[in-house]
Each structure stands twice: as C-alpha cells, then as structure tokens.
Amino acid sequence: MSENGAHGARDTLHRETSALDLRSGATVDPPTSPALPAHATAQIDRGAVPPPRAAAAEPEPPALRTVEAHLEEILAAVPQPEPIELAVLDAQGLLCAEEVVSARALPPFDQAALDGYAARAEDVAAATPDAPVELAVVGETAAGAAPVSSLAPGQAHLVTAGAMLPTGADVVVPGVWTDGGVVRVQVHAGPEAGSYVRRAGDDVSPGTAAVHVGTPIGPAQISLLAAVGRDRVQVRPRPRVAVLSAGPELVDITTQPAPGQVVDVNTYALAAAARDAGAAAYRWGILPTERRRLTEVLESQLLRSDLVLISGTFAGSGDQVQEVLAELGPMHLRQVTMHPGAVQGFGRLGREGVPVICVPGEPVAALVSFEVFVRPAIRSMLGKRQLFRRTVQAISAERLLSPLGYRQYLHGQVMRHPDGGYVVEPLGGGDEAMLARMARANCLIVVDEDVTEVAEGGLVTVMPLLLGG
Amino acid sequence: MSENGAHGARDTLHRETSALDLRSGATVDPPTSPALPAHATAQIDRGAVPPPRAAAAEPEPPALRTVEAHLEEILAAVPQPEPIELAVLDAQGLLCAEEVVSARALPPFDQAALDGYAARAEDVAAATPDAPVELAVVGETAAGAAPVSSLAPGQAHLVTAGAMLPTGADVVVPGVWTDGGVVRVQVHAGPEAGSYVRRAGDDVSPGTAAVHVGTPIGPAQISLLAAVGRDRVQVRPRPRVAVLSAGPELVDITTQPAPGQVVDVNTYALAAAARDAGAAAYRWGILPTERRRLTEVLESQLLRSDLVLISGTFAGSGDQVQEVLAELGPMHLRQVTMHPGAVQGFGRLGREGVPVICVPGEPVAALVSFEVFVRPAIRSMLGKRQLFRRTVQAISAERLLSPLGYRQYLHGQVMRHPDGGYVVEPLGGGDEAMLARMARANCLIVVDEDVTEVAEGGLVTVMPLLLGG
C-alpha cells in the first residue's frame, strides 16, 4: 500500500471547501417550534438536534465537526492500492498505471485509406474529367499479408482499403474518380500527394508512449492498447470494500421481521453504491452479536479489504461493536454538522491500518453519508482526479428551511428549465421516513451551514446523482 | 423475444431527426481540390468519397442512405429480451420489469427517529427551559426486537433511534432538550405531536407498489427492494452481444503482424464499448477463413446472442463473409452518408432472426459506427428511454470543413468555457490515422449533411463521450 494518493485528493478538496464559512461548534438558537417544517430535516440522527437555549448555560458540548474536516481526515488517510496487471478488457473503467510504450509503428505500414488506385501524384496532378490521365494497371493488392510491390511512372495499382501501398506510390485515387479500368485506368481527378494514404507511424511511432499513466481506460484506449500488441496492462485496481452492518434490530432480508426488528437494507444499498463508485464491493451482511465471533469477523475483513464500511446505530456507550472496533485501533465516532447523518466514524484499524468508515444505520442517512464521505474515498483509492460529483445551481421550486450550523442534504428531482438552467423540487418532507422518496430522487440538494432559509425561486446547490448507464 | 420496444425507440428517434434536411442520394460537386483540408474527413471508407462531376453523366449510383434511415431500420428491428429474475445486487444498473408490491409497511412499526424520551405531546406542550415539565421514566427501549409497552399520562420512556414507540406515545423529546434523567426527567421544550416519530407505513403502506416497471435500479432502489423483503427482482436483462471481426489482414493481438497484416483491435474495442453501453459482451475474435468453419461460427453465435456485431472491410463482391451472411438471411450492406463509416450493414439472420450489425473494419470508423448505431440499439434492448447521448452546442476553436451531403463525425476535446457554454477543439486532421488521437478525445463533433464549413468561433453540435466512472 502506498499513500501517494493523499496529495491529489487534498488538492481537489480545496475547491470544495474554499467558499464556505463554517460555524462549527457554535451554540445555536433553537427553532421557535421544535417540530421542523416541511422540507427541513428529512431524517434526524442521534445528537443531530440543536440544543435548546438552556443548554448554552451548561458546560460546552463536545466540539462539533464540519463535513469538510471529517472528509479531509478520511481522504488524507485512505491509501491507493498498488497497481496490478489485468487483461485489457478487465481494465475497462480503471486508470492506466504505466506508460505504455509502443514497440510498433501505427499504422504498421503505408496503406490505402480507401478502395482505388495507388499512383504517383505527379502522374495524375493534371487529370480532369474532360482531360483524364490514363495509367497502366500493373497489379492488385487487397488487405492482408502481401509481398512488397513497386510502381514505376505511368503505372497504377488496384488497392482496397487497408492494403499495403506499393513503393513509389504516394497517393490513392478513389475508384469513383476513375473509369474503374482493370488493365488501363482513366483518372478524372488528381488528389494531392499523400491523399487517401495512411503513412506508417503517422499515429504512433515506435518507442513513443501510446497510453499514459493516469489515463482512464475506455474503448478507445483498449483499441489503442490492442493495436500496439498489449493484451494486458498495469492499472489502479478497484479497491476491495467490505460492507457490514451492525444493530440489534437487524434481521437478514429473507427473514420476516418480528415487532421491533428491521431488515438489513444497508449492506445491499451500500454495496451497490460502492460498486457504482468503482469499488469491488463485498457484502458481508449483519455483524454477529457474540463478541468473540464479532472480533473474528472484523479482523478477517480488515485482512481482506482495502476499506471496511460499517453502517449502524452506534450507542453512546456500552456499544459492543464500538468496543471491539476500539480494540482494533483508534476509531473516532464524531458529531458532524450535517443532516442527515450527524454521527460519523473513521479510523485506521488492524495491523495494516486499514481505513474503516462508519455511517449511520438509518438507510437514508447511510446513503447520504456514502455520497459525502465514502464515494470520494473510493474514487481517491482508484486514483481519480475528480473525487466529487459536479454540482449545479438550481432554482428551488419550494421554500426550504434548514437548521443554522448544519449542512443539510435533501433528496430532490432536478430538471432542466425550458429557459435554461435547472429547477429542483424537494421530495417528501418533515421528519417522515424517506426510503421510497429517496428512490424517486435524482439529486441531493445541499443547503449550506449558514443558510436557514431558501425562498421559493431562490438558488440552491444541487448534486445530480448520475448512475452508470 | 418480444418487440414491444420499437415504439419507444422510434419516439425518441424523432427528436434526433426532426431538425435535419437531408440530401440523400443527390449527386454533389467534388471539392475543388480532392485532398481534404485539415479537420475534414478523418478516415475515408470505401465508397465514402463524393463522385467527381463526370459521374453525374453516368448511370445513377446506388441510392445513398441517411444515418437516420439506417438507424431507424436497426431500432425498429432490435427486440427486447424477455425479463429475467436476478439477485438484487446483480440487478444494479438494469431496468425493473415488474411492479414490486410491498407486503410490508415501511417503516414496519412506529419508531423513534432519534435518541430521547417517548412521551405524550400534550404532557410536554407547555415545557420551557424556565418552566420544565417533569415526567416519570417508566421504561427503556433500544432498537431491536422488544415486547410492546405502553405509556400512561405523565410518563416517559427512554428510547434510542429506531426503537419501537410505546403505545400512547406520540412524540419523542430529543435527549438534549431534557436533563437526561433516568428515573424522572425534566423536559425543557415540547415538540409538536408526531415530532421525531416515524409512523408505520409512512413510507410504503402494504399493498402499494414500491418500485415500478421501468425504474432504473440503483443503490436507492436496492435499498427499497431489500426493505420490502425482496432479494430477487425481475429486470430487463443485459443483451448478450457477440463481437466478431472479419478480414484477411487480421491477426490476433498476441501475434507479431507480418507486412500487410494488422492486429484485430476491433473485437476488443467493440466489446468494451458494448459493455460500457450495458450489454453482456462476448469477444469471439477473428472469424475463420475456412468456409465451413466460418458458417459454423456464425450459426453458433446467432444461437447464443441477442445481437451479433461484426466489424470488417467487406469487399464489394466475392467476399466470403458476406456470402455466408447472405446464406443465413437478408443482410443488407449499404452506403450511408456519413464520415467515417460509409459502409454499414444490418440484417436479421438465422431461424430466430437475430439482429446482426456490420460496421467498418477501420478502427476509428468502427467505434464511431458503434456510437451512432449500436449503442442506441443496445440501450433499446435494455428498455432504456434515452437511447442517445445528450448533445451540446459548442464553439469550435478551429475552422471545420465537411463534405456536402455527408454527416461528419470528428473526434475532439470539449471543455467548459470560462464565460459559460462549451468550446471544442478538433483532434488531428486530414486523412491521417487517428487511433491515438481518438484515445485523447472526449467527444464527437457532429457536422450535419448540409454544412460544408464551420467558421472558427462558430457553433457545432458536440456529443460528449462520458464513460461509466
């Protein structure tokens, strides 16, 4: 494991943080009515509620952390796995990790770019439809292995696209500009020297780099790699991400939940999100409750993973998962000034210091936290330069309220405005559950910490959630 | 196989064709100099060159076909494979093919949205920091299976986020708004009834559809499917696309090519492109030259595929691959008014009438043809509504020339302009080989049939080539 990825990640981060004036840790006024209005906090997490005025007189609460501070800690700590060699088709979507130097010229030989007659440009320069030039057709070459032939003045050679050019020829006269003769040919127009000819090495000359370090490998790069004879290539591998969930209320998807129990949805949703972000995700499932077995599972996943992702409702004290994590290394659970997802955890655990990210157990908060913290971490591990989704400014179709000092993430539907720009409609509202509504969203609306209200028609920042395909 | 996908596909197509005034089949003036200027036709394909004036006096050339006409034939003919059932994580990126009706309520029971005290709203309505209300703490419920408890007036119940609410309770008072008492608790503020409570069925009530037919399945949908207890779901499957190449000049990637031979890059590049478009791509490789074996391979791939994709330079007559394809069904090779990629083929072959698309063998023309014809076909087979990439208008950083009557596709680099909008720079030029340049491109510039020149600073249509991730 190398850690050389942290610098690029930090550089990128600065663009995201520069414009923000955060008020972390400040005590804030309670809303006049504690019941939050529509389109305010969609999901409330443990500790996410601003204290009432009375609390200001009491001892300072534990310092709150900004989204940026937590994200920066994670991005600075996630390593970039060492490059591996893969078959070119398996390298699709990954970043090239070597300078691929071509041993060959591309194209490998001078060739016809289309069907016609290989000729000498000077022979046909004067040809017109009214005064055609006649040449002797002395041979015929199709694409494919062929002996080298040559052309004397006044001669032409029938060629098909891709066929090797005879020596002496410096132009291909398209067949449609001739009378199509087989023994002798009448040429009606003379292309300039070099026309319809692909010269050896025009594209890539031997010894030059065809694909560079850091290039994302798509179909065009695969085409080029194949052309220079490479069927394998060094790439930044997909980070192996183990996805686990914790909580005494959880049962597996195939179990009918008893009263008080809920189905483990997060290992499915987070594994899907991790895969979408480019990771090789491994859905482990619900952590066992027996302590020795719990330790074994965590230790085993730390050995097999580049990143461990755990969702759960971690109790303030006496939580067994938290205790076991603490035995494996410094795991910090922190109050982060965001809604939803106010409790976030990060640590580097085990002998190898494998990064472990803890996100809330509430499914909406879990996926929002993934977007904010885990997706950038996975992209950093992949070596990507753009860690964050592009955001756009959109006109809010409704009034939005947001608690002061907290960055709020709301699910919404963003669409193009007929007059240009974007309009966004928040989905659902209040403190209702949001699972079905989240599934209808195509974006997150981001309301900054220092904003408490966005008027209908006001501008908000929107993060479109584009999925692959 | 059903063919109900064709209507949606056609509807979408109309948006793309409506604005175009095509001149298919018209004879056109030759350029004053047949050597095309920089940034004109990057790759010339067999028959792609406009005939010189003399040809107008000769018998009418075979009718040329527009890009739209060829695309429309393909989209009308590609079937949509029948839905299949997959494990939810394998369904990622596909379209749901059933109405997923929830047998459960979501959330399954009334629960606390955060840590605090379950209470009766009327008991705490009058609470203020100066005049707190005191309640008796009669129980404690954590998240997880629990017996149903109940609450009398004046009582409270310690709850953690996700815990079942005692009957009688209609509000959760956040812990930070109290003195945190364990036997008796002082409440400093009274939330409105329903605050910080998630009601059973708020999100999804039993018997209602949680995920609809046609919904793309991403992490949020997987979360919802898991929550309603579904570990498998009916989806539109990935079409199985076999990718083959034909040409006597081709050798496999691991072979050092002899003079006149070139490496088969297209099965790699097209398989990657097909996978990127959402297909399950199978790279078969170079078609055999022995006729009986050639027939066997083609028949076998028709049996195993939803779509067969063949790249090759098909000679005008006497081409063996073309002959064998004709034996398997009506395969039409046509001149299409585009650059590059002027020879395109389509047919429905074999007993099942499996669609077979033939694209040129020249690697740049092959990938451009994939973009124009094959990607929309694969997306139609997946049931997607948006078959085409979004296009944007961009300012051309250079003068562009394009032959009249042909739609030209040029590789370019598009970037955002500091003042808004986009600027595009064409890559490479003339009739040089373009494999390395194609690999540097992030877009295709589309110059319409009736445009022969775009001035520097003029607007052109640009199709950004976004790859997954």
Please give the single-letter amino acid code of residue A248.
P
Q: Which residues contact B172 (CB under 8 A, 6 or more apart)?
A: B112, B113, B114, B116, B117, B118, B119, B159, B165, B191, B195, B196, B197
The beta-carbon neighbor of A109 closest among B189, B259, B272 is: B259
Taking only residues 13 to 32 of chain B, the set having a beta carbon closer than 8 angstroms to any beta carbon of chain A reads 30
| Residue % of chain A over a pLDDT of 70 | 83
First vs last C-alpha separation in chain B: 32
Interface contact B218-A270, CB threshold 8 A: no
* Other C-beta atoms lying within 10 Å of the C-beta of residue A167: 12
Chain A CB within 8 Å of residue B333 CB: no
pLDDT at B316: 54
Is there a contact between A176 and B259 if contact means CB atoms under 8 Å apart? no
Alpha carbon of B21 to those of A359, B17, B68, B259, B408: distances in Å?
A: 55, 9, 11, 45, 15
Q: What is the ipTM of this complex?
A: 0.81
Instruction: Number of A to B CB contacts under 8 A, please give it.
Output: 396
Q: Answer whether B38 touches A (CB < 8 Å).
A: no
Among A228, A164, A145, A150, residue whose Cα is nearest residue B258: A145
pLDDT at A1 over 80: no
Shortest distance between the Cα of B112 and any Cα of chain A, in A, equals 10
Give the model's pLDDT for residue B167: 92
Q: What is the pLDDT at residue A14?
A: 35
Say what the pLDDT of residue A2 is: 40
pLDDT band (50, 70, 90) for residue A203: confident
Q: What is the pLDDT of residue A38?
A: 33
- H or E stretch covering B198: strand B197-198
Comparing A2 with A69, the larger pLDDT belongs to A69
Cα gap B241→A101, rounded to integer Å: 31
Q: Hey, is the C-beta of B140 within 8 angstroms of any chain A C-beta?
A: no
- Kindly provide the b/e burial profile for residues A371-404, where b requires at least 16 CB atoms within 10 angstroms of the residue's own CB: bbbbbbbbbbbbbbeebbbeeeebbbbeebbbbb
**What tens digit of pLDDT does each residue of A7-53 get?**
433 333 333 322 222 223 333 333 333 333 333 333 333 344 554 43
Go through the domains of chain B in sequence order and give each one's CATH number: 6-25+63-82+238-381 (3.40.980.10), 84-106+202-235 (3.90.105.10), 111-198 (2.170.190.11), 392-464 (2.40.340.10)
Percent of chain A with pLDDT over 90: 59
What pLDDT digit, counting tens, does each position of B157-174 carry?
A: 999 878 899 999 999 998
Determine how β-strand B280-286 pairs with β-strand B240-246.
Answer: parallel
A contacts of B275 (beta carbons < 8 Å): 89, 92
Identity of the residue numbered A184: R
Residue B211 is nearest to which of A43, A192, A439, comparing CB atoms?
A439
Question: Phi and psi of A251, rounded to 5°?
Answer: -130, 160
**A-chain residues near B435 (CB < 8 A):** 106, 203-204, 223-224, 227
Q: Which two tokens stand for residue B277?
A: 């478009």
Higher pLDDT, A80 or A61: A80
Bridge partner residues of A282 (DSSP): A242
Residue range A339-381, pLDDT digits in tens: 888 889 999 999 999 999 999 988 889 999 999 999 999 999 9
From chain A, the residues in CB contact with B422 under 8 A are none
Q: Mean pLDDT across the stretch A170-184?
A: 91
Is residue B424 classed as helix, strand or coil in its secondary structure? Answer: strand
Cβ–Cβ gap A43/B225 under 8 Å:
no
Find the CB nearest B219 among A224, A269, A436: A269
Higher-pLDDT residue of B420, A314: B420
Q: Which of B62, B82, B98, B108 is nearest to B335 (CA)?
A: B62
pLDDT tens-place string over residues A81-104: 899 999 999 999 999 999 999 988
Q: Do B92 and A210 touch (CB under 8 A)?
A: no
* B48-73 pLDDT, tens digit each: 455 443 333 344 445 689 999 999 99
